[in-house]
Amino acid sequence: IPGETEQSNSLMSRLPSFPLRNNATLLPKPGVPTSATHSLRSMLEILNNKKAPELIYESEPHKLCFLCCGAFALVFTIYGLSFLQWSSSTAYELYKLDDDLYLFLGRIGVNLLIASVAGLLVTCAVLFPTRLIRRIYYLPGDKKINDHIKFTTHPLLPGRTTPVHTIPLTKLNRTKKGRIFTKNGIYGTLDKSTLFFLLKEQDAKFGYWIVDRNGWFWGDGRVFDVLFGKDSLNEAENALTYDEKFGQANKKLKEEKKELKNQYGQKWPLKIGAEIIKEDVGKV
């Protein structure tokens, strides 16, 4: 049940068990309203009337993510060290032939620059799990503008204490195109194209936090679009997924093409193009 188990930071808690399975481990939390029993307005009223911190999200264990990131970091480390060993020995052999110190130093500099790309990828792979959100708490304030969000993440090294971050709700937003509610899954948050969505912390140089869509959500995804997307109640209730918006735009485009075809015939693109050229020539 979400919020009732202690989150471990041990090394073993980061290692997946084999064979790998993708089964959900979190059950719906008793006493939490859902879209099956409450309207969006009712769910938001219940949340806004809370006087104590309320758990609104918990992720599934990120063991597979740790495995993938560790594998990527190992591969890029081996690649970077192998490249440095080969390139430095090659540069030295060339230096013995041409005896040009400046050219030798230039080759070493280029080699280090190329190897730094692998180092950057290793750093990203190591730091990626530290941006994964594990739990999110809604902290009600005396006024709406004083509401805060508290969330926990993974420490960089196993065995360390769990990092806790507290940010004003007004300064934590989802990305512009990262709609949370997709109408798929129990909480309406699953998406075929993305496993995560991002929350952006304002006034931070790199304030992106990663939220796994395959987790437990308080209510459903529309609640989170209101909290982090700053959507109005009507916008959230009538929310369209990006697939639906794309489908509507595609349908409108087909209708416009059909209308042009009926008006100009089969060669309507050529006729419209000729009219545009004629207008441009007339302007000149």
Candidates 129, 131, 128, 125; CA nearest to 76 is 125
Tell me: pLDDT of 246 over 60: no
Cα–Cα–Cα angle for 213, 158, 119, rounded to 5 degrees:
80
Domain co-membership, 31 together with 169: yes
How many separate domains does the chain show?
3
Q: Are 40 and 139 part of one and the same domain?
A: yes
- In this prediction, residue 284 has a pLDDT band, given cuts at 50, 70 and 90, of low
pLDDT of residue 223: 92
* pTM for this predicted structure: 0.76
Instruction: Report if residue 1 sits inside a domain.
Output: no
Residue 42 lies in a domain: yes
160 in the same domain as 203? yes
For residue 142, being part of any structural domain is answered with: yes
- Is 3 within a domain? no
Judge if 37 and 164 occupy the same domain: yes
76 with 216, same domain: the answer is no
CB 184 within 8 A of CB 170: no
Per-residue pLDDT tens over the stretch 54-90: 999 999 889 889 999 999 999 999 999 999 999 999 9
Residues 222 and 145 in one domain: yes
Which residues form the domain of 181? 18-63+131-238
Does the residue 213 lie in any domain?
yes
| Residue found by looking up tokens 């994964």 in the block | 132
Q: At what angle do helices 221-229 and 40-48 cross, to 10 degrees?
A: 60
Q: What is the CA radius of gyration of the chain?
A: 27
What's the pLDDT tens digit per position in 14-53? 888 776 666 677 888 888 998 888 888 999 999 999 989 9
Most confident of 122-136, 141-155, 197-211: 122-136
Decide if 111 is inside a domain.
yes
- 141 falls in which pLDDT band (50, 70, 90)? confident
